[in-house]
Amino acid sequence: MNAKIVLLPGDGIGPEVIAEAKKVLEAVGTKFDHEFQFESHLIGGIAIDETGNPLPEPTLSACRSADGILLGAVGGPKWDDPNAKTRPEAGLLKIRKELGLFANLRPITTHEFLIDSSPLRREFVEGTDILFVRELTGGIYFGPSGLEKHDDGTETASSTMVYSTHEVERVVRIAAEAAQKRSGRLTSVDKANVLEASRLWRKVAERVVREEFPDLEYDVVLVDAMAMHLISRPSTFDVVVTGNMFGDILTDEGSMLPGSMGLLPSASLGSDGPGLYEPIHGSAPNIANKGIANPLATILAAAMMLRHSLNLEEEANAIEAAVDSVLRSGARTKDLARGDESTLSTIEMGDRVCSELTT
Ligand code: NAD
Ligand code: IPM
Ligand code: MN
């Protein structure tokens, strides 16, 4: 197959982890005889520095005509001035919105061979296999917002959580379809005891499940309680569907079940067009340019891209199997290591996955 893959390395550790994922994709291309054409484009802080815009037009148009898009991360202290005209994160939000990527799949699975990398006790994390489906183009991230300056020098700022019937229906359908293919359990997470937007979410989600997916085992959990259940009984969840901000927060929390954010990939999908694939972690400015970032989340995001956008299931499985066996062999980047265990650099970890793939 011939495919155009757009790489958006971005900021901080973004370029380091994207370089490893690209290497792995090249190894897969060679092994399975595919022609992947890579194009790198600007996004985030580096795009602001070079063009003044966190999502320059050439990046957006390259993405529109891509078969798959792989993103590193955006952001960093250099661009954190609260009074700045724009921010790196605005580029990421805009690309998600422009491409209509409303469903963000974030799988969280623990593995026997990694359980000791989790800060949580074995008996809690064992057997966890959750698919979070996070709504990605609505909610408080995209509702009306404003900043009002008062005469006395103080200010009032607002961000509004908005959901419409259609937005809830389509993401719940994606989650319910995924649950049908997995263990048949779906949990919807909201804050319907307080928020009007959550009450609509709950009403619509329940209707979609009742009318269209009556065989699912369905329940509803409030987000504050979910933050607790995610730690105390993670293995009881199968697919979890929730709004934009709740999904953002719960999945960072959930990354501690397998042991590190450096392990968690994600796929952002719309109803048509290319998907966007990225690790759930950010640009990790505290470890950028040190060669120690874990590239596995991005490598696993590349596998999700092969599966969901290029329809290359066997190739995606091959990457996932290679990552599993590298980890099973005891290879660890710093984020996964315990005590004085020896560690691999970002590049060494990428190399190990490539050589596992080609043997
Ligand atoms: P972060 O995810 O960048 O880092 C949180 C912690 O996890 C840090 O200690 C970091 O060192 C560690 N970590 C993250 N990825 C790792 C990896 N691959 N290997 C090893 N350790 C890893 O979150 P933050 O520090 O809160 O945010 C930093 C910047 O990243 C901010 O500007 C934020 O807006 C941005 N961000 C971007 C994205 C994205 O581009 N999708 C996601 C989250 C945060
Ligand atoms: C993520 C990030 C982004 C989000 C930020 C950087 C806009 O935290 O992808 O999880 O909140 O969606
Ligand atoms: Mn996040």
* Residue at 37 is within a domain: yes
252 and 268 inside one domain: no
Active site residue 181: no
222 and 323 inside one domain: no
Verify whether ligand 1 is closer than 6 Å to residue 74 (CB atom): yes
* CA dist., res. 24 & res. 86, Å (int): 34
Q: Is the pLDDT of residue 357 over 90?
A: yes
Verify whether ligand 2 is closer than 6 Å to residue 280 (CB atom): yes
Q: How are beta strands 103-109 and 265-269 bridged, if at all?
A: antiparallel
Q: Is the pLDDT of residue 266 over 90?
A: yes
Verify whether ligand 1 is closer than 6 Å to residue 256 (CB atom): no
| Catalytic one of 49, 252, 324, 351 | 252
The 3-state DSSP class for residue 153 equals coil
Name the phi and psi angles at 290, rounded to 5.
Answer: -105, -5
Which of 240, 256, 272 delimits the end of a domain? 256
72 and 189 inside one domain: no
Residue among 55, 74, 93, 246 whose CB has most ligand 2 atoms within 8 A, to mutate: 93
Verify whether ligand 2 is closer than 6 Å to residue 93 (CB atom): yes
The 3-state DSSP class for residue 230 equals helix
Comparing C-alpha atoms, which of 21, 26, 24, 23 is closest to residue 10? 21
Between vectors from CA 75 to CA 72 and to CA 76, what angle results, nearest 5°? 120
Tell how far the Cα of 264 is from the centroid of ligand 2, in angstroms: 13
348 and 281 inside one domain: yes
248 and 270 inside one domain: no
pLDDT tens sequence across 181-219: 999 999 999 999 999 999 999 999 999 999 999 999 999
Verify whether ligand 1 is closer than 6 Å to residue 262 (CB atom): yes
* Residue at 98 is within a domain: yes
Ligand in closest contact with the CA of 14:
1
Mean pLDDT, the chain, whole residue set: 97
Which of 256, 273, 303 delimits the end of a domain? 256
Comparing C-alpha atoms, which of 109, 98, 113 is closest to residue 238? 109
Which of 256, 289, 316 delimits the end of a domain? 256
For the chain, give the percent of residues with pLDDT over 90: 97
* Residue at 51 is within a domain: yes
* Residue at 117 is within a domain: no
Q: Which amino acid would we find at residue 206? A: E
* Cross-strand partners of 145: 159
Ligand in closest contact with the CA of 268:
2
* CA dist., res. 222 & res. 193, Å (int): 8
**CATH number of 294's domain:** 3.40.718.10
pLDDT tens sequence across 314-340: 999 999 999 999 999 999 999 999 888
* Residue at 120 is within a domain: no
- 234 is known to lie in a ligand binding site: no
Q: What pLDDT score was predicted for residue 285? A: 98
153 and 252 inside one domain: yes
pLDDT tens sequence across 66-116: 999 999 999 999 999 988 999 999 999 999 999 999 999 999 999 999 999
Q: What pLDDT score was predicted for residue 139? A: 98
Verify whether ligand 1 is closer than 6 Å to residue 20 (CB atom): no
Cα atoms in the 13 Å half-sphere on the side-chain side of 298: 32
61 and 141 inside one domain: no
Tell how far the Cα of 229 is from the centroid of ligand 3, in angstroms: 20
Q: Which amino acid would we find at residue 229? A: H
Active site residue 141: yes
Query: pLDDT band for position 359 (50/70/90)?
Result: confident
| Catalytic one of 22, 141, 190, 238 | 141
Tell how far the Cα of 265 is from the centroid of ligand 3, in angstroms: 12
Q: What pLDDT score was predicted for residue 103? A: 98
pLDDT tens sequence across 291-302: 999 999 999 999
Query: pLDDT band for position 46 (50/70/90)?
Result: very high
Tell how far the Cα of 295 is from the centroid of ligand 3, in angstroms: 17
Task: Give the C-alpha distances (Å, rounded to integers) separating 197 from 20, 169, 302, 324.
Answer: 41, 14, 34, 40
Comparing C-alpha atoms, which of 129, 95, 112 is closest to residue 277? 95
Cα atoms in the 13 Å half-sphere on the side-chain side of 170: 17
300 and 356 inside one domain: yes
Burial of 343 (0-12, 13-18, 19+ CB in 10 A): middle
* Residue at 123 is within a domain: no
* Residue at 110 is within a domain: no
Active site residue 252: yes
Structural domain boundaries, residue 315: 1-105+264-359
* Residue at 121 is within a domain: no
Q: What pLDDT score was predicted for residue 8? A: 99
Q: How many domains does the chain have?
A: 2
pTM higher than the cut 0.90: yes
248 and 274 inside one domain: no
231 and 322 inside one domain: no
- 149 is known to lie in a ligand binding site: no
Ligand in closest contact with the CA of 255:
1
For the chain, give the percent of residues with pLDDT over 70: 100
Q: What pLDDT score was predicted for residue 43? A: 98
Cβ distance 243 to 135 under 8 Å?
A: yes
pLDDT tens sequence across 127-178: 999 999 999 999 999 999 999 999 999 999 999 999 999 999 999 999 999 9
* Cross-strand partners of 222: 190
| Catalytic one of 190, 238, 248, 335 | 248
196 and 286 inside one domain: no
pLDDT tens sequence across 208-249: 999 999 999 999 999 999 999 999 999 999 999 999 999 999
* CA dist., res. 285 & res. 288, Å (int): 5
Q: What pLDDT score was predicted for residue 65? A: 97
Tell how far the Cα of 282 is from the centroid of ligand 3, in angstroms: 7
Q: What pLDDT score was predicted for residue 339? A: 84
* CA dist., res. 120 & res. 259, Å (int): 8
Cβ distance 115 to 125 under 8 Å?
A: yes
pLDDT tens sequence across 339-348: 888 999 999 9
| DSSP characters over 29-78 | HHHHT-EEEEEE---THHHHHHHS-SS-HHHHHHHHT-SEEEEEE---GG
135 and 246 inside one domain: yes
Residue among 74, 136, 248, 298 whose CB has most ligand 2 atoms within 8 A, to mutate: 248
Active site residue 191: yes
| DSSP characters over 90-117 | HHHHHHHHHTT--EEEEEEE--GGGGGG
* CA dist., res. 344 & res. 347, Å (int): 8
